[in-house]
Amino acid sequence: MFLLSAFVSAALASQVNAAAAGKASSAGKASTFAGATSTFQFPPADAIATASLVDSFFPDASEVGFPGATPTGDEAESVATAPAIAPVDAYFPLVRPDTSDNKGKSFDVVDSWANLSPMQSLDPNSFGLGSASEQIPEQCTLNQVFLLHRHGARYPTGGSSPAVFAAAINAAAGNRTLVATGPLDFLNTWTYKLGAEILTPFGREQLFELGVGFRVKYGDLLKNFTGLPVWRTTSEERMVDSALHFAAGFFGVQSYQSDYHQLIEIESSGFNTTLAPYDNCPNANNAIEDIGVNATTIWANVYLKDAQKRLQAHLPGFNLTIFDVLAMQTLCPYETVALGYSAFCDLFTEEEWRGFAYSIDLGFWYTNGPGNPAVSAQGIGWVHELVSRLTQTRITTFDSTVNKTIVSSNITFPLNQPIFVDASHDTVITAILTAMNFTNLAAGGPLPLTHIPKDRTYIVQELAPFGSRLVGQVLDCEKSGAPSHIRWILNDAVLPQTGIGKCKYDSNGLCELDTFIAGMKQRIEEVDFQFDCFANYTFTLEGDTITTGQFPQNRKHQN
């Protein structure tokens, strides 16, 4: 499930056929042409075939023995013991790109990649609580932590715009009509080296580092486990890979396989899982989703017009559409997070990179955020699970994407864990934030299609970059020994909870636990899962004014 893949659906159907043709030809001689897809398999087949002959020369550490001294130390809890947080402020080994007009200045292209950007710590004031941080407020102690994170950096969705563009270049090269000059000269020898769907090496690093960071910040909570932790992910390759790298970072590669249980929920059409709720919410996957694609298309025709003209001058014999130009821009982040560098990045100006980020903001707002009527319904299942965990009460009403089999068992869904870890997707994190009613994120109202508004509050870069993390801290702020408050921290900036039920403004983002739980229960009442996910309704860009990710109550009778 990924936003830009939607472009393929209708608008580019004809070019998908070209993609298929390019793929076929790249297997033969044509693979020498520009735009060809190149892949590589490691290890070599011979090494696999002969492995059993040499394995005995390379015994495991447990067979070798002689490990040296192995005393362990105590757990860390740096969110309580350190004076400040350690920010994520780099993206080694990715090479920082330039723009075409602003070489060397302070603007960083990487900060405009939105959901394709590597997570970096947000400015503490991103959501208006500049004096708060992930560090535990002085009057509080930590009882429990929730982590909902996204997978790491990945290859593009199979058949999405980068691959389609590569196939078109490959076809033109095969036709001998590809003549690329000036800044596009590199296209004459460029090949498409990206796979699809799975994590890149950098993406693995991100999750490993998240695991290490979480151990140093919250490891002390391990002392209050009575059994092994049960942490969740979904069945997709990149989701399992992300969860395992998190665990490897958290526990270390010598023991992570025995230190916790990894629950893998099936992510596939028709299955219930709150970590991939679109698979049981038909309205998430049908025409209603088009509003986000339409919004992005309209905006791309505004902000990429100049780039289209500028680049076309260097590519006679190939007609660049707006979709081609957007695909070229999209190749910059995807190539960079996979290959460390991309020649596509500095084809675009600073202004065009701001436009790119906004195109993704639009797509998320109208497809996976407050502007889409089937979004709170997708996020509400995780809210059910959150209430179940916070109240230590089993779910008994099944009216969401909650999987009854999973949550009814104290083996697969324990309620009393000091550390909960759930892995999911960008579009699910934004659905959950919408379902939870973090209303300040939607405060600017529907996003305009003609320009980037000043002071916008809905910025995907902040919500769902690669490796994005939403952390919930359950705290005792009344020295009562029992949890009294909760707060939420998104990519290291504290979220205000004003607007969630009766939660009041607090400079540390705190809300009383009971008040918060009452707010979540009220949200569960407010969100109409059956209608929003399954009803046959129409919803247009022009008519849209929603900001809660729900179908408008007053229009229901018309449908």
Ligand X SMILES: *[C@@H]1O[C@H](CO)[C@@H](O)[C@H](O)[C@H]1NC(C)=O
Q: Is 175 or 257 the residue whose CB approaches ligand X more closely?
A: 175
Distance CA 374, CA 379 (A): 9
Query: What's the min distance (Å) between Cβ of 420 and ligand X?
Result: 14
Q: Is 50 or 81 the residue whose CB approaches ligand X more closely?
A: 81
For residue 17, CA distances in Å to 12, 171, 327, 521 come to 9, 11, 17, 48
Find, among 543, 528, 114, the residue nearest to 288 by Cα.
543
For residue 317, the tally of other CB atoms under 10 A from its CB is: 11
Q: Is 459 or 517 the residue whose CB approaches ligand X more closely?
A: 517
Query: What's the min distance (Å) between Cβ of 249 and ligand X?
Result: 23
Q: Is 96 or 394 the residue whose CB approaches ligand X more closely?
A: 394
Residue type, 34: A
Distance CA 232, CA 245 (A): 13
Query: What's the min distance (Å) between Cβ of 269 and ligand X?
Result: 10
Query: What's the min distance (Å) between Cβ of 76 and ligand X?
Result: 15
Q: Is 15 or 99 the residue whose CB approaches ligand X more closely?
A: 15
- Who contacts 517 (Cβ-Cβ below 8 Å, separation ≥6)? 387, 390, 391
Distance CA 114, CA 368 (A): 14
Q: Is 113 or 146 the residue whose CB approaches ligand X more closely?
A: 146
Q: Is 60 or 525 the residue whose CB approaches ligand X more closely?
A: 525
- Who contacts 122 (Cβ-Cβ below 8 Å, separation ≥6)? 462, 490, 491, 492, 493
Query: What's the min distance (Å) between Cβ of 317 and ligand X?
Result: 5
Q: Is 262 or 272 the residue whose CB approaches ligand X more closely?
A: 272
CA torsion, ordered 363, 369, 373, 376, to nearest 10 deg: 150
Report whether 406 contacts 381 (CB < 8 A).
no
Q: Is 31 or 50 the residue whose CB approaches ligand X more closely?
A: 31
Query: What's the min distance (Å) between Cβ of 159 and ligand X?
Result: 17
Binding site for ligand X (CB under 6 A): 143, 168, 171-172, 175, 177, 224, 227, 265-266, 270-272, 280, 290-291, 294, 317-319, 398-399, 403, 405-406, 410-411, 437, 439, 499-501, 519, 522-523, 526, 536, 540-541, 548
Distance CA 116, CA 114 (A): 5
Query: What's the min distance (Å) between Cβ of 170 and ligand X?
Result: 8
Query: What's the min distance (Å) between Cβ of 58 and ligand X?
Result: 36
Distance CA 171, CA 481 (A): 68
Query: What's the min distance (Å) between Cβ of 390 and ligand X?
Result: 14
Handedness of CA 481, 482, 483, 485 (dihedral sign): negative
Report whether 275 contacts 423 (CB < 8 A).
yes
Q: Is 274 or 336 the residue whose CB approaches ligand X more closely?
A: 274
Query: What's the min distance (Å) between Cβ of 293 and ligand X?
Result: 7
Distance CA 298, CA 292 (A): 10
Q: Is 353 or 488 the residue whose CB approaches ligand X more closely?
A: 488
Query: What's the min distance (Å) between Cβ of 296 and ligand X?
Result: 11
Distance CA 150, CA 306 (A): 34
DSSP assignment, residue 58?
S
Count of H helices and E strands in the chain?
21, 8
- Which phi and psi angles does 168 have, rounded to 5°? -65, -40
| Residue sitting closest to ligand X (CB) | 398
Distance CA 169, CA 221 (A): 54
Pairing of strands 261-265, 230-234: parallel
For residue 13, CA distances in Å to 159, 160, 521 come to 10, 11, 43
Distance CA 34, CA 225 (A): 56
Q: Is 1 or 172 the residue whose CB approaches ligand X more closely?
A: 172
Q: Is 330 or 403 the residue whose CB approaches ligand X more closely?
A: 403
For residue 503, the tally of other CB atoms under 10 A from its CB is: 21
Find, among 254, 259, 278, the residue nearest to 268 by Cα.
278
Query: What's the min distance (Å) between Cβ of 457 and ligand X?
Result: 13
DSSP string, 100-118: SS-TTSS--GGGG-GGGSB
Query: What's the min distance (Å) between Cβ of 64 and ligand X?
Result: 36
